[in-house]
Structure 1
Amino acid sequence: MSTTIFLQALLSGLTNGAIYALVAVGLTLVFGVMRIVNFAHGEFLMLAMYGGYLAFTFLGLDPILAVFLVAPVLMLMGYLLFDGLIRPALKVPEINQMAVTLGLSLLLQYLALVAFKADNLLVTQERSTASIWLGPVLIQMPQAIAALASIILLGLFYLVLRKTDLGLIMRVVSQSRDGAALSGIDISGTYRWAMAIGLGTLGIAGPLMVSALYVNPHVGQLFTLKAFVIVIVGGMGSFGGVLIGALLVGIAESIAASWLTASVAAAVPFALLILVMLLRPEGLVPAGGSR
């Protein structure tokens, strides 16, 4: 592999990793605070991507501006999802909770299939084919915008968790629900906000991604799997772990794609998952280490 090809693969991997991190951070937030695994996470990303596509097609909104429309809708979905489905599920065993979110995942897929058929849809603009040269390598404009937005939003997300009262409350609840309840913290309200913010991050990622990636009813499955790989590799419930896991997955995937076949490259994140589980089952950054 030449130096230029390696640098190109590295840049693509870092770009993809930043986007993956924004997708996965909502999943790790929900798990870290509520200790529930949301198998429908990718399907809500799929809905956000469709939202960005529809906003562009029918309202003429640029995907960047569509974020301000789609993100509040996804937050509202998260708010309602907690009261309508997740709150009752918290009272049943974990295997039942997994069945509930898995069933929701399948339901959303089939509803999207009915509404949008199986067609691949993409937002096409003048900048869709534009590129930016960075020395000997280039980056596509849609990916560059999505990655830059992801980095900014992840920074804001971190500040919310570390510098605000809501972030402090979420961290307290994640460490000890009973202790938080005894301190007078509204546990249900905290869970509700965690779910709203967790899905709200997808409302930001979806419209940005739909100008760089085709959306169809099954695209969520791919990102659910990648998000799980990232949060497990990084450390379940760890914000720092999400960043490290996403960058590792993005870089490994991109370098493998430039060296091996696409089908083999698609398996690399799962090989990375197996390797980390064998050598460090708690993940690279355990939740207590960086939140």
Structure 2
Amino acid sequence: MALKDLFTKNQVKKKKYATIPTEAAKNDVPEGIMTKCPSCKKIMYTKELSKNVKVCLHCEHHFPMNSKERIASFIDEGSFQELNENMISGNPLQFPGYLEKLEADRQKTSLNEAVITGIGTVGGHKIVTAIMDSTFRMGSMGSVVGEKITLAIEKADELSVPFIIFTASGGARMQEGALSLMQMAKTSVALKKFSNHGGLIISIMTHPTTGGVSASFASLGDFNFAEPGALIGFAGRRVIEQSIREKLPEDFQTAEFLLKHGQLDAIISRLDLVEKITDILDIHQPRGEITWQ
């Protein structure tokens, strides 16, 4: 028998394996039950991630938080009272499609604008806070955002309590042109007046804090803090590199880069934030000294 005939006669038959339909595989794990960390690539239960204030259980990567999640994790339970919640943006420059985009974001986020302001307590201390939300128009600063922040600063001045702001923004809102840029000056003047009256300003920059927001109220705190890994800067990396014709460091415009170059006071993990801010408030204003108005 020829060698080739031997192989043909006794060839091994391939085993048949059952294949799982794609849709069935998807149904085994309901959508949203697991989350993959973009930093360490490990997978964890979404519920466990939420319990850990959206900080990765393995590498401490800080996932984005919306304003409502931030209130729940930072403000003492049951103490938050929202300010100016019904303020909404108009279309002063008659920018095409702007009102429709605003309405779409209102429906998607259940927010009226890219910032929530209010009165609450942190560690028993009364404060006024402004919390920007990147899920609404990428946290862009328009006239209403600037007005709400200014009114919140003035309320803190009126009550003689600290003002704490969380920033998350792509910068000034292009659909409002120069009117959005004017908010940089308005909020900065309000902070200066508040500071002159002895007010405490704490700024906490989160990912991302850019453009006119980083160039105004975000950087004007008595304490300027940031979350780990947050992108903080004015112009984009590519614009700067093209302007100066130099390659920028890999960590350029990160919170760690800014801390190293003296532009931040500290980087604080979300896991330690309430404790650290409470310590500062303890020093500035002992508990019980201020009564609710």
- Report the TM-score, using the length of structure 2 for normalisation: 0.24
- Report the TM-score, using the length of structure 1 for normalisation: 0.25
More helix by share: 1
More strand by share: 2
Which structure has the greater CA radius of gyration? Answer: 2
